[in-house]
Structure 1
Amino acid sequence: MTLFKTNLLAVTVSMLALAACSPGNQDRDQHSTGAAPHSDTDGAQHEGNLEDNHAEPGGRGANPEVHLSEDQFSALGITVEAVTTGAVDGVLELPGEVGFDQNHLAHVSPRVSGVVQSVSVAEGDRVEAGDILAILNSRPLADAKAAYLSARARLDLAESSYQREERLWERQISAEQDFLNARQALEEARIVVRSAGQQLDALGVDASTLPRVNATTNLSLTRYELAAPIAGTIIERHAVLGEVLEEGGQPPAFIIANTSSVWVDAAIYGGDLGRLRAGAAVSIDPGDGVAPIESTIDFVSPQIGERTRTGRARVVIANAGDRLRPGMFVTVFAVASDAVSVVRVPVSALQTIDGRSVVFVRSDDGFEVRSVQLGRRSEQFAEILSGVSPSELIAITGTFSLKAELQKGEFDDGHAH
């Protein structure tokens, strides 16, 4: 009887347990607690939506893009350049000044004194080599031309006398001594002409251009043409009508400069003098908001400035568009000899989105937002450990505007971060 009661109790407990696990009871439990039914498939779909809504900017296939028209591209002031390699640490920041390239600068003064009769150029005028800048009346020039013309006339006479004496001596009509005297006179006349011609050449006059003259020839010997020795721009003019210009006088009558090439001289402080060499890469920032000018050091002076106590590094720049103007102060970032080359981007190319550093990589119709991992960083450059590769095109200016455009588009879609 006891065994029967025990078995009956066990059966009752089992039936109650099965009833508790039935689908109907599960539905009632869910309705009582307010929980909605879900499946494993629904859970997977929910996790996938979370990944899409919070995709990292650097994730493959999930990089957001900013689409721009050509008008927007220009209006936002975006500059695109390729990712490069170079130094981040070991870059020296040096003050620099732009100056004229002395190989393309000319001080123009007359080689003989004279009175200014006319001036044909003004400051700012563009001239070519050989153009006439001014015309002078010069008495010393007239004396030099007269001496040359007189010497050449005596040479013509000496040549005639020599030819006559040579014929007479060959016919045994004239004495040999007369022939020798005529030949000596001819050589002396040639020497005098050569000397007078060199005098004119020193004054800037081509003697071969002077016509043959006689006593009745009406030729002005005082005209002196002051010509441009190089092509360039008149940056200073000191010659005025009626002024007496002296040979080698100061200031010069004109100064001509060709600014298609300029020099940038950077000051090197004591501790860094041994760290820079000719050929080192430099980046020159004129402070105009445009991409820096990349070049190399052409010359490092071995001399220390007496007043400044600094060294000097010179960079010769091809100055297309006159972006650099003599007298400007610039900042020169020079790569020291102990610097290490890495993949780098300008700091201006970086933005932060969702707490991650990103760059904007050029695409067919805009920019792809690419997450990057940064290494070392200086005021000008940041090292890239991963995310972009050398030669990829990225925006280096206007990136804040690109970020604003991206977030504006996300807000319009209801997904602003």
Structure 2
Amino acid sequence: MAITNKQKTSIAIILAGGAIAAAGLIFAGRGSADATTEAGHAAGAHSEDAAHGDGEHHGGPASAAHGDAARHTDGEHHETQEKEGHVEMTPAQVQAAGLTLRTAGPAHIEGTASFPGEIRFNEDRTAHVVPRVAGVVQGVSANLGQQVKKGDLLAVLASTALSDQRSELLAAQKRLELAESTFQREKKLWEDKISAEQDYLAARTALQEARIATQNATQKLTAIGVSGNAGGAKSLNRFELRAPFDGTVVEKHLALGEAVAADANVFVISDLSTVWAEFVIAPKDLDRVRVGEKVKIASTAFDGKAEGTVSYVGSLLGQQTRTATARVTLPNPKTAWRPGLFVTVGVTDSSAEVPVAIEAEALQSNGDQQVVFAVVPGGFQAQPVKTGRSDGKLVEITEGLKAGTQYVAGNSFVIKAELGKAGAEHSH
């Protein structure tokens, strides 16, 4: 029977597969034998090691290698910790950055509570000037912002009501003169037994009534701040509005030719030599602020500071704000403290000696921690700290920094910026 080419190819493939399988079995057998041999050698070696003393076992090359590896790993770990938060800077770089170095140490710190406040007019030295008579403005002498003295002319009004009151006074004065002359005549006639006593008594009564009428008319003019002497009949309606005390014209609400009412607020004059620094106190802080306590005023708009004492603490809470109002009467010789200026009021409520304190500007934030950049060889190290009391200038350090440690005070933000750059480069 003849074999075709297709059948020859199939037979060749089968024979090749069988040869491969046989070779695999031979290799597997040799591998098992080798493994068995290696296991025997390992067991023998183990037995031989067990026969040696503990000193020889621990002093072997494998143990030494293991120790070297362990020491190498610990060294890398510590090196990584030292580099974290470390900023390298040369003395020249420190000088160029303008860094100020200080030494942490004991200090006296006054505990203060800070409150937001505002400068206001001293209401005890502020006048809302009203004319007290209705009239038409004939002249205005004072301008907004002008410094005036007590008695200085502010404005001139023409008032018909004032003319009527002055006319009433003039008539009362004339009746008084007539009543006095009549009384003197009747008194002489009665003493000479020429006239009856009844005429004398009637003249005396008329004189008393004339005096009362004159006094009444004078008091009416005094109540509005004018005198009865008008300087002539043509000036009966002239009303001169004058400054009640030394101060500054801070508001002006009248113009030439304007008709003003008797109760119109035409000027506001305030003595700015003293002002009020008013601030609000939450109920939880009421026990920290008392009348007579020393306070420090600082402006948020300019580098202005002043000291004073609490002159008033409100006894009632506001219905809407639920806070109490307190104030400090502040000397203002150069009028630097202008009404409307926002300030911070620091009330000193305690003081203590602390073992470790630093300048407040040295504190920087690093994530959710407060850090101080301590001086270390070759640069600075960000040292996490915990703070205690503070008076705005000094801060107590309760944990993280020892007395005698040098740290960066001024321009410490430069170190923080360098640390941020290093962290960004490391993340990339």
TM-score (normalised: structure 2): 0.59
Q: 1:242 aligns with which of 248, 251, 257?
A: 257
Partner of 2:245: 230
Cα 1:284–1:346, aligned 2, differ >3 Å: closer, same or farther?
farther
Cα 1:266–1:342, aligned 2, differ >3 Å: closer, same or farther?
farther
Partner of 2:393: 381
Larger helix share, 1 or 2:
2
Is contact 1:98–1:329 with CA below 8 Å preserved after alignment? yes
Percentage of identical aligned residues = 40
In structure 1, stretches of 5+ residues that fail to align are 1-83, 212-216, 357-374, 386-398, 402-417
Tell me the alpha carbon deviations over residues 196-219 of structure 1, each in whole angstroms, 9 at most, x when there is no partner.
111111121123x456xxxxx644
Tell me the alpha carbon deviations over residues 169-211 of structure 1, each in whole angstroms, 9 at most, x when there is no partner.
111111111000000000000000011111111121123x456
Aligned residue for 1:271, secondary structure, equals helix
**Does 1:192 pair with 2:207?**
no
Q: 1:144 aligns with which of 165, 168, 176?
A: 165
| Distance in 1 separating the partners of 2:358 and 2:154 | 48
| Distance in 2 separating the partners of 1:321 and 1:258 | 12
- The alignment's C-alpha RMSD in Å is 3.0
**Does 1:156 pair with 2:156?**
no
In structure 2, stretches of 5+ residues that fail to align are 1-106, 364-371, 377-386, 398-408, 412-428
| Distance in 2 separating the partners of 1:345 and 1:130 | 57
Partner of 2:132: 111
- Larger-gyration structure (1/2): 2
Is contact 2:360–2:395 with CA below 8 Å preserved after alignment? no
**Equivalent residue letter for 1:340:** S
Aligned residue for 2:199, secondary structure, equals helix
Is contact 2:109–2:390 with CA below 8 Å preserved after alignment? no
Tell me the alpha carbon deviations over residues 118-155 of structure 1, each in whole angstroms, 9 at most, x when there is no partner.
11121111111111111011000000000001001100
Q: 1:259 aligns with which of 272, 276, 283?
A: 272
Partner of 2:202: 181
Cα 1:179–1:349, aligned 2, differ >3 Å: closer, same or farther?
farther
| Distance in 1 separating the partners of 2:252 and 2:148 | 13
Q: 1:87 aligns with which of 78, 86, 110?
A: 110
Q: Per-residue deviation at 1:268? A: 0.7
| Distance in 1 separating the partners of 2:315 and 2:362 | 39
| Distance in 1 separating the partners of 2:358 and 2:116 | 19
Q: Per-residue deviation at 1:347? A: 4.2
Partner of 2:320: 307
Q: 1:332 aligns with which of 335, 345, 359?
A: 345
Is contact 1:265–1:312 with CA below 8 Å preserved after alignment? yes
Cα 1:218–1:143, aligned 2, differ >3 Å: closer, same or farther?
closer
Cα 1:345–1:124, aligned 2, differ >3 Å: closer, same or farther?
farther
Correspondences of 1:256-405 after superposition (within 5 Å): 256-288=269-301, 290=303, 292-336=305-349, 339-342=350-353, 347=359, 355=375, 377-378=389-390, 380-382=392-394, 400=410
| Distance in 1 separating the partners of 2:195 and 2:357 | 94
Q: Per-residue deviation at 1:280? A: 1.2
| Distance in 2 separating the partners of 1:346 and 1:194 | 74
* Number of residue-to-residue matches in the alignment: 277
Partner of 1:36: none
Cα 1:346–1:189, aligned 2, differ >3 Å: closer, same or farther?
farther
Instruction: Report runs of 4+ in structure 1 exceeding 6 Å deviation.
Output: 343-346, 348-354
**Equivalent residue letter for 2:244:** P
Is contact 1:347–1:379 with CA below 8 Å preserved after alignment? no
Cα 1:121–1:355, aligned 2, differ >3 Å: closer, same or farther?
same
| Distance in 2 separating the partners of 1:345 and 1:210 | 74
| Distance in 2 separating the partners of 1:180 and 1:262 | 61
